[in-house]
Amino acid sequence: MQTVKYFGTDGIRGTYGTYPMTENFMTRLGYAVGTVLGHEADAINEQPIVMIGRDTRQSGPALQEALTRGLTATGVIVWDLGILPTPGVAFLTRTHQASAGAVISASHNPAKQNGIKFFSSEGTKLSLEQELEIEAILEATTLEDIAPMDESKVFDRIDLQADYLSDLLSSQRGLRLNGKRILVDCSNGAAYRLAPRVLEVLGAEVLPINTLSEGNMINVNAGSERARSNPAELAAIMKEKGADLAVAFDGDADRVIFLDELGRLIDGDHILAILADDLHAKDLLLADTLVTTVMANGALKKYAESQGFKLKTTPVGDKYVTEALQQTQNDTGDFDKFGLGGEQSGHIILLDKTHQTGDGLRTMVFVLAVVMNSKEQSLVMLADQIQKYPQLVASCDVAQKIPLNEIKALGARFETLGEDLPGLVEMNSRYSGTENKYRLMLETDTRHTAEDLGRIAWEICDLVQAETGTLAGSKIEVLNVADGGLIPRLKYIKQVKRS
């Protein structure tokens, strides 16, 4: 089976100015995409149209201009949507029947990085076959082969953002948030205008933070990932401003995290449980099944069993969750119910006829509707129904991705893991699909603490970094998934020797 060179599980990403995240590459990529779309359009005698949106990164305009040059050189019409959340681009691409959509964003990654992802005319991610064809044309094309941008083919369509806003507001008709003071952390990213606007129109008193659009502050001490790693910080702001709830998005707003009335972290596992329970009770849950990844907390499976709906797991990545939901939708032929799935990160998919990707703003509206329709109108009461098991996710930079099954020391350590963690319930060891990072998930029963897991995680990350030739002192983060917050380096017995 052929594999792609540039496309990861969530598009193409990298540090701006370093290949492949350069204007040269982006122009050739645009030319390749336009060529493939041209072939497909010729078959049905249509003019290809590509919608482009971006987040607030400083490198966004330059990369968009380069991409646009490549696209117009093949005759593609480009609609510029401006700064817009990733799911907004996917929605508009489908509803306005464009040939494809493109988003220039690196999501929750640091501001110096950027990336690009594409959507098909159906608002879904491109197929492997399309990605392979695009890469083949890209590799065979030089910058000199591509004509300058044809500005006559570029149109400002920021006006279409109103359609996305209207769709969000109509997703839960009758919802009113009057009397609720809601803190919204926009991560200085793509949702910096739309998220506060949605809440404002719904009647909430909105307390917005991190709404800069200059581009060098996106995700800097802000947003959903910051809330997961340091929920106490956002809880303190929430208390200072007298907010009832807090909502935090990532840089491109396809993820969302909440803090409840007590300032506690409400992550993707909680959100999935709350939404699945509500949809199940209304007979609106597709195939009566919730889809999540192998990283989900075991308490979610236990909760599904207790409430009478099914739980299906996929490999890590929203791509696989979406594919499973789409397959279920096609198998059942039921397009009137919601396919629900997602990840702990807050990437939640509410799949129906017109929505095929994760959307943080849409998820926010759905969750708030459940809260307001509940007897106590309390997120605390809803979240308390799922009691998480001790679980953490560790992440560390690596210099190279040596196949994990070839790292003998890692395999040997895993063989003895049961001695240190007899209550081990689940483990997942893998490399990131978009970054040079190793990730480890550990989950145990309640006989262990987060600190017990943290010691093991730090040890294994040290081992992996040593075995992959990674510079000592390179970044390691150990996240307490169950309760939020980072676990600091703790002493462990087995020390890693570096050659």
Give the pLDDT confidence score for residue 458 in this predicted structure. 97
Instruction: Name the pTM for this structure.
Output: 0.91
Above 90 in pLDDT, residue 101? yes
Would you state the pLDDT for residue 213? Answer: 93
Q: In the predicted model, is pLDDT for residue 496 greater than 60?
A: no
Q: Is the pLDDT of residue 6 over 70?
A: yes
What 8-state DSSP symbol labels residue 486? B
- Cα 398–Cα 455–Cα 436 angle in degrees, nearest 5: 15
**Looking at residues 486-498, what average pLDDT do you find?**
71
Angle at 358 between CA 357 and CA 361, to 5 degrees: 125
Determine the pLDDT at residue 412: 96
For the beta carbon of residue 274, count every other beta carbon within 10 angstroms. Answer: 22
Token pair in block for residue 370: 């459940």
The domain ranges of the chain are: 12-160, 179-264, 268-383, 391-480
Architecture of the domain delimited by 268-383: 3-Layer(aba) Sandwich (3.40)
pLDDT attached to residue 89: 98
What average pLDDT is seen over the chain? 94
pLDDT, tens digit (0-9, with 9 covering 90-100), for 340-391: 999 999 999 999 999 999 999 999 999 999 999 999 999 999 999 998 999 9
Tokens of 68: 């646009």
pLDDT band at 270 (very low <50, low <70, confident <90, very high): very high
In the block, residue with structure tokens 């953490």 = 392
* Spatial distance between the Cα atoms of 120 and 445, rounded to a whole number of angstroms: 42
Residue 462 has pLDDT above 50, yes or no: yes
What's the CATH fold of domain 179-264?
A: Alpha-D-Glucose-1,6-Bisphosphate; Chain A, domain 3 (3.40.120)
pLDDT value, residue 494: 58
Catalytic hit among 59, 107, 120, 432: 107
Determine the Cα–Cα distance for residues 268 and 225; give it in Å rounded to an integer: 12
3-state secondary structure 13-60: EEECCCCCCCHHHHHHHHHHHHHHHHHHHHHHCCCCEEEEEECCCCCH
Residue 120 a catalytic site member: no
User: Does position 45 have pLDDT exceeding 70, yes or no?
Assistant: no
pLDDT mean over 149-169: 98
Neighbours of 130 (CB within 10 A): 18
444 pLDDT more than 70:
yes
Query: Selecting from 3.20.20.70, 3.40.470.10, 3.40.120.10, 3.40.50.2000, what CATH number does the domain 12-160 have?
Result: 3.40.120.10
Q: Give the count of alpha carbons within 13 A of 41, CB side only.
A: 21
Please give the share of the chain, as a percent, with pLDDT higher than 70: 97
Range 62-86 average pLDDT: 98
Q: What is the helix (H) or strand (E) element at residue 299, kind and residue range? A: helix 298-307
- The answer to whether 283 touches 376, Cβ cutoff 8 Å, is no
Res. 499: pLDDT tops 60: no
Mean pLDDT of 310-339: 94
Decide: helix, strand or coil at residue 100: strand
Q: What is the pLDDT of residue 433?
A: 79
Domain boundaries 391-480, corresponding CATH code: 3.30.70.100
Flag whether pLDDT at 41 surpasses 70: no
CA distance between the termini of the chain: 36
Give residue 35's pLDDT band: very low, low, confident or very high (50, 70, 90): very high
User: What letters, b where the CB count within 10 A reaches 16 and e where it falls short, cover 459-484?
Assistant: bbbbbbbbbbebeeeeebebbbbbeb
Give pLDDT tens digits for 272-286.
999 999 999 999 999
Q: Which pairing describes strands 154-156 and 49-54: parallel, antiparallel, or unpaired?
A: unpaired
User: Looking at residues 31-58, what average pLDDT do you find?
Assistant: 87
Residue with tokens 């990350």: 461
Give the pairing type, strands 12-15 and 113-120.
antiparallel
Q: Running DSSP on this structure, what letter comes out for residue 153?
A: G
Q: In the structure, what pLDDT confidence band is assigned to residue 46 with cuts at 50, 70 and 90?
A: confident
pLDDT at 437 over 70: yes
pLDDT for residue 215: 84
Tell me the pLDDT band of 131, cut-offs 50, 70 and 90: very high
Report pLDDT for 498. 47
Whether 268-383 and 179-264 are alike in CATH topology: the answer is yes
pLDDT at residue 42, as a whole number: 59
